[in-house]
Amino acid sequence: MCSALADLIAAEIRAGGPMDVGRYMALCLGHPEYGYYMTRDPLGVAGDFTTAPEISQMFGEMIGGWLADAWDRAGHPSPFVLLECGPGRGTLMADALRAVRGVPGFVEAAQLHLLETSPVLRESQARALAEYDPVWHDGLDTVPGDVPLFVVANEFLDALPVRQLVRRGDGWAERCVALENDSLRFVEMEANSDVCGYIAPELFVPEEGAVVEVAPERERFLGCLYKTLLQQGGVALFCDYGYGCPGYGDTVQAVRGHGYASVLEAPGEADLTAHVNFSDVSRLALEAGLTVHGSTGQGDFLRRLGIDIRVRRLMERATEAQSAEIETALERLCGDRQMGRLFKVMAVCSDPSVELVGFA
């Protein structure tokens, strides 16, 4: 373990004692100088992982259709803020907006806003989305809050840090990162009552040693987003690796070069994510007074939106090799053993009378 970020983390632990997993994730991913997303474009074959929009244009096209439909059902407000959180290379949004060019008024009414902290990825987004004149934000507080909001976030919530509590006796310890002989190690520390307050109320009493993840950062983010949605009206669509009912277990994982890596080995050099607890995303929305649709599996969602029809269209003009590629992409996006089930889709909406497509 030797890098500028590793030194920085070690120094912080020497000064302040073991650091919680959330702080560790936040530094590894988002340290302004050395954080994983600050220093590289991690996507695609040459990077560390591939996301749905990078697998096929069909993903962004389906999401574009969904957004335009939701906008229409919500009374086609004009203007409106079209916000993407964590847009990666801008591929999803470019495919989405190209696909809905024919929807009267949609692109004209949309003011494109991008929530993105990575300077490297902002450059890719600027290239992919130049014609739509996007405005970038570091946080939600600067996104205009005076018109309706249509939001999409694919593999964004899983990048927001979680903290890990471990059941010990009839209480909780917190899993933290400590320093031992100059190497990082997990240890358990006494958990403070603030962090225990994030444990979902419906969670049944876990076994000794069970790990429960809580996500104060995600809750803060969602709380802020939901407040604006309620005030201005609109919808948000979340797609992520996650689970639909409350559960527990350690889901923090590191991915590097398209394979699993050790979470502690090379801070800032691997992507770190934690599965999204969609029951929290939903509970917070209901508490805020919003309507929740889903979650549903990504495969079912895309099929309900008509991805099979899109596949047939694309194949009409495809060579044999292209047809095989389209088939493979469909399987990767929708297959039960690929992204179809593990990835979940959930929408929240300010207006309970609006029906949204894609959900059972």
Q: Which residues bind ligand SAH (CB under 6 A)?
A: 29-30, 37, 43, 51, 53-54, 86-88, 92, 115-118, 121, 154-156, 159
Closer residue to ligand SAH, CB minimum distance, 87 or 233: 87
- Least Å distance, CB 42 to ligand SAH, is 7
Closer residue to ligand SAH, CB minimum distance, 179 or 239: 239
- Least Å distance, CB 288 to ligand SAH, is 21
Closer residue to ligand SAH, CB minimum distance, 56 or 117: 117
Residue nearest to ligand SAH (CB): 86
User: Cβ–Cβ contacts within 10 Å for residue 286, how many?
Assistant: 12
- Least Å distance, CB 193 to ligand SAH, is 26
Q: In what order do the strands lie in the sheet with 259-261?
A: 259-261, 253-256, 271-273
Q: Which residues share a beta bridge with 154? A: 239
How many whole angstroms separate alpha carbon 101 and alpha carbon 142?
Answer: 28
Angstrom CA distances, 20 to 1, 128, 194, 230, 356, stand at 19, 37, 13, 33, 39
Closer residue to ligand SAH, CB minimum distance, 37 or 278: 37
- Cα distance from N-terminal residue to C-terminal residue, the chain: 48
Closer residue to ligand SAH, CB minimum distance, 92 or 212: 92
- Least Å distance, CB 43 to ligand SAH, is 6
Closer residue to ligand SAH, CB minimum distance, 65 or 87: 87
Structure tokens at 152: 């999409």
How many whole angstroms separate alpha carbon 202 and alpha carbon 236?
Answer: 25
- Least Å distance, CB 90 to ligand SAH, is 9
Q: Which residues share a beta bridge with 276? A: 242
How many whole angstroms separate alpha carbon 5 and alpha carbon 151?
Answer: 33
Closer residue to ligand SAH, CB minimum distance, 92 or 354: 92
Q: Tell me, rounded to whole angstroms, the distance of Cα 43 from its chain centroid.
A: 14
How many whole angstroms separate alpha carbon 95 and alpha carbon 63?
Answer: 9
Structure tokens at 269: 């050099």
Closer residue to ligand SAH, CB minimum distance, 87 or 294: 87
- Least Å distance, CB 185 to ligand SAH, is 25
- Least Å distance, CB 207 to ligand SAH, is 32
Closer residue to ligand SAH, CB minimum distance, 175 or 218: 218
How many whole angstroms separate alpha carbon 160 and alpha carbon 153?
Answer: 12
